[in-house]
C-alpha cells in the first residue's frame, strides 16, 4: 500500500490503541481491524445494550481472517467446533451459538456484517484454524464500568501481555550505559545504530552511510513497537533532536571537498561499552568515537585517521543545519570553500564538537 496511506493507518491505529474502549450509539457501525500478531484492533469495545451493530472487518494482516460473534462464554466452544468446518464454509460452524460471522477476508480486503445484541458480553473471534485460541476481542453491550484491560478475562492474553510488557524493562538485565542497538529508525537507512551515553544524551549513527545522522537529548529510544510482532514499525526517539546532518551532506571529504566519497562500514569496537566505529572513506580507514559533553547539550566526534598511505588531504564539511556551532580541533578553516575545514598536515586525528546555539 502507498506509504502515505500506511502513515494514516498507523496514526489511526495509535489513536485507537490509546483509548482502551470505544463508545457507540444504539445503532452503530464499528470498524475492527485484523492486525499483525493474530490480533484485532481495538481489543475490546463497549456499546449500549440493545443495539443494532454493523461491524466492518478490515484485514491489515498478511494472513486471512474472519470475525465471528458469539456470547463471551461460548467463544471456546465455537472455536473448537470450527476446527471441523471446511474452508468453503469459512470455518464457521452451523450453530445458534454463532450470532453473526463474516466470510474469510483475504489480506487487504474488508467485509461488513450486521446483527443485534441484547445486554451482555460478547466475543469477536477469528475461527480460522489455529487463530481462535489467541485472536479474539470483547464486545460489551452494557453500561457498567469495565475492568482494567490487563485484568479483563474476555480480552486476548496476547494483548494483555503487550500492556504488561510496557511496564517492565525490555531485557533480563538492567540497562547499562553507554547502550547500543542496531535497529530501524526514521531519518536513517535500515542499517542504523542508536547509542545513548547515559539514557539522556543519544545519537543515531548510520552504518549504511557511515555518518552521524542526528543527536538528541532527554532520553534514548522506545524499541517496543519495532520489537513487537513482525517488526514493521520503527524504533522511536525519546527526547528532543537538537542536531541533524543535512540529508545530502557527507562530512568527510578526501583529496578535494567537492567530491562525495565512497564509504564502507567495517564494524565497531566497544571500550567500557562506548563504541568506536571503523569505516573506509575512499579507501582511507577512519575510526570515529563520539562522546557526550559533560554538563551541556552537544556531542564531540573524534576521528582517528588510521590508514592514509597516499597522504591525501582530508576535509570536514559541516552541513547547514541552523542554530548549531561547530568547534573544530586539528582542523583549519578552508580558505576557498565555505563550511569546510581541512585537517592539519601531519596530524592523524581531528575532532568536531557539535553544539546547539543557546
Partner 1 sequence: MRNLITLAISLGLVTKAMAQDHSHHMSSPAAAGDTAYVAENIPLPVGLKGEVGAIDFLPDGRLVATFHRGELYFYTPKTKEWKLFAEGIHDALGLMAISPKEVLVLQRAELTRIRDTDGDGKADDFSTVTDDFGISGNYHEFNFGPVKDKEGNIYIALNTASNGAGIRPEVRGEYNALGRPGRMYSCVPYRGWVMKLTKDGKLHPYALGFRSPNTLAFDAAGRLLVNDNQGDWLGTSKMYVVKPGKFYGHPSSLVWKKDFPKIDPLTLTVETLDSMRTRESVAFPHGYIANSVTQPIVDRTQGKFGPFINQTFVGDMDHRYLMRVLLEEVGGETQGACLPVHIQGMRVGNNRFAFAPDGSLWVGQTDRGWVGSEGIQRIHWNGKTPLDIMDFKLTKTGFDLTFTKPLDPKIAREISQYAVKRFYYEYHKQYGSKKFDETPVAIKQVNQSADGKKISIELEDLQPGFIYEFRLGDLKAQTGEPLLSRWVCYTLNHLK
Q: Which residues of 182-215 are buried (b: 16+ CB within 10 A; e: fewer)?
A: ebbbeebeeebbbbbbebbbbbbbbbebbbbbbb
Query: Is residue 184 a contact residue for partner 1 (CB under 8 A)?
Result: yes
Among 18, 271, 320, 346, binds partner 1 (CB under 8 A): 271
Q: Which secondary-structure segment (H or E) carries 123?
A: strand 120-125
Residue with Cβ nearer partner 1 (38 or 212): 38
| DSSP structural state of residue 185 | B
Residue 266 is a binding residue for partner 1 (CB under 8 A): yes
The DSSP letter of residue 7 is: H
Tell which one of 49, 107, 147, 148 touches partner 1 (CB under 8 A).
Answer: 107
118 binds partner 1 (CB under 8 A): no
CA–CA gap between residue 240 and residue 233 (Å, rounded)? 20
Nearer Cβ to partner 1, position 34 or 352?
A: 34
Is the Cβ of residue 17 or residue 28 nearer to partner 1 in the bound state?
17
User: Cβ closer to partner 1: 262 or 333?
Assistant: 262
CB-CB contact of 30 with 24 (8 Å)? yes
Pairing of strands 211-217, 221-222: unpaired
Cβ neighbours, 10 Å, residue 30 = 17
SS3 state at 241:
strand
Smallest separation (angstroms) from partner 1 to the CB of 193: 8
For partner 1, which is the closer residue by CB, 145 or 271? 271
CA distance 26 to 48: 6
Measured in degrees and rounded to the nearest 5, phi and psi for residue 336 equal -95, -45
Instruction: Tell me the window of 109-117, 177-185, 252-260, 289-297 that interacts with partner 1 (CB under 8 A).
Output: 177-185
227 SS3 class: helix
* 128 vs 341, beta carbon nearer partner 1: 128
73 touches partner 1 by CB under 8 A = no
> What does the alpha-carbon distance between residue 202 and residue 192 come to, in Å, rounded to a whole number?
13
Q: Considering the complex, what minimum distance in angstroms separates the CB of residue 42 from partner 1?
A: 18
The footprint of partner 1 on this chain (CB under 8 A) covers a number of residues equal to 55
Residue 286 makes contact with partner 1 by CB under 8 A: no
CB of 209 to partner 1, least distance (A): 8
**Contacts of partner 1 in 19-38 (CB under 8 A):** 36-38
Kindly tell me which of 115 and 133 has the beta carbon lying closer to partner 1.
133
Neighbours of 234 (CB within 10 A): 19
Binding site for partner 1 (CB under 8 A): 1-3, 6, 36-38, 61-63, 80, 83-84, 86, 107, 129-134, 157, 165, 168-173, 179-184, 186, 188-191, 207-208, 223, 227, 229-232, 265-271
Amino acid at each position: 500500500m502507498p506509504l502515505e496511506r500506511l502513515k494514516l493507518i498507523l496514526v489511526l491505529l495509535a489513536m485507537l490503541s490509546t483509548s482502551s474502549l470505544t463508545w457507540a450509539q444504539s445503532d452503530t457501525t464499528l470498524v475492527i481491524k485484523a492486525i499483525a500478531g493474530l490480533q484485532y484492533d481495538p481489543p475490546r469495545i463497549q456499546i449500549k445494550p440493545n443495539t443494532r451493530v454493523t461491524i466492518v472487518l478490515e484485514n491489515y494482516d498478511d494472513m486471512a481472517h474472519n470475525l465471528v460473534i458469539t456470547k463471551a462464554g461460548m467463544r471456546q466452544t465455537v472455536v473448537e467446533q470450527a476446527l471441523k468446518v471446511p474452508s468453503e464454509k469459512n470455518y464457521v460452524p452451523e450453530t445458534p451459538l454463532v450470532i453473526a460471522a463474516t466470510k474469510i477476508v483475504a489480506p487487504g480486503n474488508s467485509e461488513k456484517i450486521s446483527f443485534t445484541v441484547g445486554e451482555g458480553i460478547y466475543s469477536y473471534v477469528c475461527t480460522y484454524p489455529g487463530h481462535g485460541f489467541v485472536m479474539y476481542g470483547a464486545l460489551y453491550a452494557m453500561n457498567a464500568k469495565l475492568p482494567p484491560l490487563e485484568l479483563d478475562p474476555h480480552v486476548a492474553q496476547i494483548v494483555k501481555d503487550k500492556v504488561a510488557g510496557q511496564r517492565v524493562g525490555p531485557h533480563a538485565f538492567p540497562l547499562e550505559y553507554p547502550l547500543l542497538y542496531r535497529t530501524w529508525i526514521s531519518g536513517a537507512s535500515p542499517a542504523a545504530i542508536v547509542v545513548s551515553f547515559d539514557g539522556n544524551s543519544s545519537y543515531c549513527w548510520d552504518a549504511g552511510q557511515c555518518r552521524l545522522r542526528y543527536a538528541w537529548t532527554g532520553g534514548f529510544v522506545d524499541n517496543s513497537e519495532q520489537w513487537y510482532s513482525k517488526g514493521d514499525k520503527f524504533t522511536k526517539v525519546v527526547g528532543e533532536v537538537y542536531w541533524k546532518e543535512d540529508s545530502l551532506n557527507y562530512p568527510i571529504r578526501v583529496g578535494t571537498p567537492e567530491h562525495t566519497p565512497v564509504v564502507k562500514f567495517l564494524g565497531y569496537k566497544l571500550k567500557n561499552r562506548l563504541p568506536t566505529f571503523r569505516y573506509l572513506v575512499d579507501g582511507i580507514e577512519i575510526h570515529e568515537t563520539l562522546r557526550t559533553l559533560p554538563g551541556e547539550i552537544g556531542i564531540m566526534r573524534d576521528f582517528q585517521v588510521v590508514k592514509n598511505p597516499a597522504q591525501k588531504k582530508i576535509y570536514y564539511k559541516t552541513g547547514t543545519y541552523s542554530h548549531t556551532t561547530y568547534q573544530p580541533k586539528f582542523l583549519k578553516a578552508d580558505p576557498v570553500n565555505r563550511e569546510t575545514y581541512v585537517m592539519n598536515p601531519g596530524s592523524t586525528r581531528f575532532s568536531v564538537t557539535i553544539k546547539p546555539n543557546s
